[in-house]
Chains A and B, each alone.
Chain A
Amino acid sequence: MDIYLPIAEVSVNAGILVLLGAVVGFISGLFGIGGGFLMTPILLWMGIPPVVAVASEANHVAASSASSVISYSRKRQVDFRMGGVLAAGGAVGAIVGVEVFRWLRLLGQADLVVSLSYLIFLGLIGGLMLVESLGSVLRQRRGQPPAKRRDRRPVWLYGLPFKVRFPRSRLYISIIPPVILGVFVGILSAIMGVGGGFILVPAMVYILRMPAGVVVGTSLFQIIITTSLASILQAGRNQSVDIVLATLLLLGGVLGAQFGARASSRFRAEELRALLGLIVLIMGIQMGLVLFITPEDPFILVGAGK
């Protein structure tokens, strides 16, 4: 059934959107990520204007994250204090990001920055995840002990002022690194239409040294706050949230997320990470490819300035 989207002003198949929402929601529940990095490029390929895709996707990410965060919270796997600190940074980042995106659109460079961000961040993180997790999968197969994790926590994390206790994460660190991380992820969420889980999760593990058990839940919690805010800001500043599009996506998304969360217990953590790394890497390369291929038409319409 084709449906005309009131803000995007294009006609799309509603069934396909619900199905896509469900598939991405499943992946989101399976890996404990928002899934925006998958959905936003798909929406762009379907012909949804970039501005609308990015803004509406923030809404969809908020929904599927809310759907899975509650089950993490029941298992006491959310560090609300750390999530709050990250989200405070995220809020600042989202405000900055929405303005940056507005400015980039006026310069006609929004497409370039979106493609570049995907290529750099997804390519880098996907590649690292893939290498790291394949390594540990191989070591397990050979019966070698897992690589020793460097437990020595970096000095700079402890030398900084404004130290706060995070009991759930068993950390006593300065709030400066998480706030900066939050700002950075907030900017990305506004520009790329993603929650930023694919950056937050590794950063929490490798930079903040949080225990693996609370990382995913805390990341989802911060994503809900950041994307909700980004969504309201995009609607308020750019009038670019398509409520029909977002609702169709989240119909499938919230259900898919539940099934994904259940399926996740059937896989080993390393294998899941390897798979996620592969998906992230492929998306990054796919989005970045446009920068290298000679365009069919040297001219491009960059959207009427709204």
Chain B
Amino acid sequence: MVTPAIPPPDIFVPEPGPSVSAALTDANVRVTSAFSGAQIVLYGAVFDPDTRPSDVVVIVRGPDQPIRIARKVRVAGLWVNSRPVVFEGAPGFYMAASSRPLTEIASFSTLRRLGAGIDHLPMNAPEEERIETRYGVRDVVVSRLGGDYLEWRRAVIRLKEKASLYATDHEGVRFVDRGLFRAEIDLPTSAPIGEYQTEIILFQDGEPVSRRARTITVEKAGLERWLFLFANEQPWLYGIVSVLIALTSGWLASVVFRRR
């Protein structure tokens, strides 16, 4: 009996046909007290025996984070917040980088299917929805936001982009050499803690032909981690300790100054 030759896992064997491969300079971001954002570089290569024109799309999706958004409305001459709308299923960080504008790379339906691009993020506000029977059709999902839904959704994206948490970069994937590309992932200070799913998709003729997934982990480390865990796991003790620090330092200052 002949055993099939299994290649060792650390040697890359190109699949038959076009394929894509990628690596991150830093798959583990440690949030310490010196943290002021991070830049991760993604390197990748396209292997294609036929050298057909290739497009690469890199999508980074941070951990899901419900978004609460309110609209400023004028009540009796004062600008106040409306009741907030909660959007679920939206990531806390999202970046879509590509070698060309996404709309030129693939069709709307393909992008929608892959969830590629901010316009295709599945984001909804379930609390605002109800199921109704309309025009005799049962189980129709109706949103309280009605036609404004798109406006609310655009506002979420606009505000997140302003905070550098969402980004679309049509030239974010740059081919540095034949088949060799790189993309930069900029994490702002406010980037949420958790696992970031990075997907690298190779498109040819508008169709995804190869995909690779990588994971970036953003975690608090060192003193930051310890304090964060302390504050969340023993909140009452944490509160008492912080007050004791405050009162002791106040007392110390007055004692020191009295001696002078």
Contacts and interface: CB of A to CB of B under 8 A. Distances in A.
A212 to B, nearest CB: 22
A70 B257 CA distance: 11
A189 interface: no
B72 A300 contact: yes
B159 interface: yes
A-B pairs, top 3 by smallest CB distance, nearest first, are A66-B250, A235-B239, A108-B84
Contacts of A304: 65-68
A7 B231 contact: yes
24 contacts: A4-B35, A6-B220, A9-B190, A10-B189, A65-B250, A67-B253, A107-B84, A108-B68, A108-B84, A112-B80, A228-B247, A235-B231, A235-B242, A239-B235, A244-B227, A246-B242, A254-B250, A257-B250, A258-B253, A292-B79, A293-B79, A300-B69, A300-B159, A304-B66
B232 A2 contact: no
Interface string A96-115: 00000000000111011000
B251 interface: yes
Contact of A4 (B33, B155, B246): B33
Contacts of B189: 4, 9-11
A205 interface: no
A232 B160 CA distance: 33
A301 interface: yes
A6 B253 CA distance: 26
B175 interface: no
Contacts of A7: 227-228, 231
Interface string A131-168: 00000000000000000000000000000000000000
Given A2-B36, A303-B68, A63 B79 contact: no
A84 B84 CA distance: 40
Contacts of A68: 254
Given A247-B245, A300-B69, A302-B84, A3 B33 contact: yes
Q: Chain A at the B interface: mostly helix, strand, loop or mixed?
A: helix
A212 B240 CA distance: 33
Contacts of A293: 79
Contacts of B67: 301, 304
A257 B246 CA distance: 13
A117 B159 CA distance: 27
A300 B81 contact: yes
B145 interface: no
A122 interface: no
B69 A224 contact: no
B36 A301 contact: no
B79 A295 contact: yes
Nearest to B230: A243
Interface in B56-102: 65-72, 77-84, 86
Q: Choose among A71, A224, A250 the residue with the greatest number of B CB atoms under 10 Å from its CB.
A: A250
B247 A109 contact: no
A290 B78 CA distance: 9
Interface string A181-225: 000000000000000000000000000000000000000000010
